[in-house]
Structure 1
């Protein structure tokens, strides 16, 4: 994989090192809050896990939103991880814990493939196309234990196919530590897996599940832990108030 000369781009009050002429630029064109789903009511003390950190366009702004909490950002690609480190430092963030590894269903090493038609974006351990590098592999259960994480308020998973291995290999005890999940699933990168198989697994583990942004074999799955009390979001409060007013008027 070719090395790149970095440039810096400012966006929404943050600064990011990026690789010009690559998919990094496309990523910076997206809104930084694109993964801030309405089901998630954020609080300053929250603990957030970012699986698939890339160059930090999720972890960096999220760290500002949880000043008394912590963001754990996981990125397996060595070059992307190096840029992620630079961007955390560039923005002066002290509450981000960075981890250069791939989560999957075993501990050891894995081959991370760099998609030839999607340079710097779409690295995958389940889609064997393009050049590859060897990276450390770990399970979600072991990662949480090693980092003494007892509760995760929000976990974003965007890891190009490995989401099935990560979630489906996790025990109910492990997943019970997570209040809210956003999973970007890629069935085309994981033969034999389906949206429904992920949904059924999450339901069996005690989650209420929704599907959004579905397109072909990809989409977003939102899973909320049924045993965790969730304060209503502002949008939900407004909806309830409208219904209440409508009932009173009628």
Structure 2
């Protein structure tokens, strides 16, 4: 039933059907033994319910590179899945979960509490190229992770104003000297995130940057600018099963067990 509801188009009709049937969030346990309160009629919730893992390639990458005492910055934390996963890997390290959607704050805190972790700091803000405010256009509850600064869909126009800061300012405010992994998933705003981090990128304060390119949202030119900017600061792009991983030179050796790697490639290869 959950799969059928998620496939209903337009999406708003599926949300209405979900409400009519009074579908509620439910608890699910992952293959690693972590617990989450998920919406079964959502992209995230259904995958976790059916597979016991969300985005397995990214999950495996976190398990490979994160170590005890590391710092992980999760830009676009959504319901906290990757932040909770990271917290189980870093022991005495710190996780910074950055998620601006007000409707998700209670869920993130619930998922943190379910796993009894105290290493996650939640920041209800957005990362951009300047400090201020921005309109965040909200996708329906079936796919909250697709909410974006850019309204790139036809139906629905709900939005909320959210505060923004830059990567440089965020690192300074939280006294971050070294970050093992920065994960960026912000639906087309990747360029804005990178553009606001010139100082930390120049100083090589981040080992790995994992991100998705949303060419259909921000356009080919912006994607090319992101790649060029990161290359300018000395970062190398390695791809594995379509996952883009930028890193400092030499760190590609730590990725070998992920499988077949495309090392020092272009973003669109």
Please, what TM-score do these two structures have when normalized by structure 1?
0.81
Alpha-carbon distance in 1 for matches of 2:113, 2:120: 10
Summarize the Cα distance change of 1:79–1:206 in structure 2 as closer, same or farther, 3 Å threshold: same
**Kept in 1: contact 2:62–2:86 (CA 8 A):** no
Matched, 1:34 2:57: yes
Residues 106-147 of structure 1: CA deviation (Å, up to 9, x unaligned): 111111111359542301112355311111111111111111
The structural deviation recorded for 1:52 is: 0.8
- Bigger Cα displacement from structure 2, 3-12 vs 146-155: 3-12
Measure, in 2, the Cα distance between the counterparts of 1:50 and 1:142: 16
What is the 5 A alignment of 1:1-250? 5-12=24-31, 13-28=33-48, 29=50, 31-32=53-54, 33-35=56-58, 36-37=60-61, 41-116=65-140, 119-127=143-151, 129=153, 130-174=157-201, 176-191=204-219, 193-214=221-242, 220-226=243-249, 230=251, 232-233=253-254, 235=256
Contact 1:155 1:182 in 2 (8 A): yes
Which residue of structure 1 lines up, in the alignment, with residue 3 of structure 2?
Answer: none
CA separation of 1:61/1:181 partners in 2, compared to 1, >3 Å: closer, same or farther?
same
Question: RMSD over aligned Cα, in angstroms?
Answer: 2.9
Question: Higher mean Cα deviation, 145-154 or 168-177?
Answer: 168-177
Other structure's SS at 1:55 match: coil
Structure 1: distance between partners of 2:255 and 2:247: 17
Structure 2 unaligned residues grouped into runs of 5+ = 1-11, 261-269
- Return the alpha-carbon distance in structure 1 between the equivalents of residues 82 and 142 of structure 2: 20
More helix by share: 2
For residues 152-172 of structure 1, the C-alpha deviation after alignment (integer angstroms, 9 at most, x for no partner) is 011111111111111123214
Contact 2:42 2:141 in 1 (8 A): no
Shift of the 207–235 alpha-carbon distance from structure 1 to 2, 3 Å rule, reads closer
| Offset, 1:221 | 2.3
Structure 1: unaligned runs, 5 residues or longer: 215-219, 240-250
Aligned to 2:264: none
Separation in structure 2 between the aligned mates of residue 41 and residue 90 of structure 1, nearest angstrom: 25
- The alpha carbon displacement at 1:198 in A equals 1.8
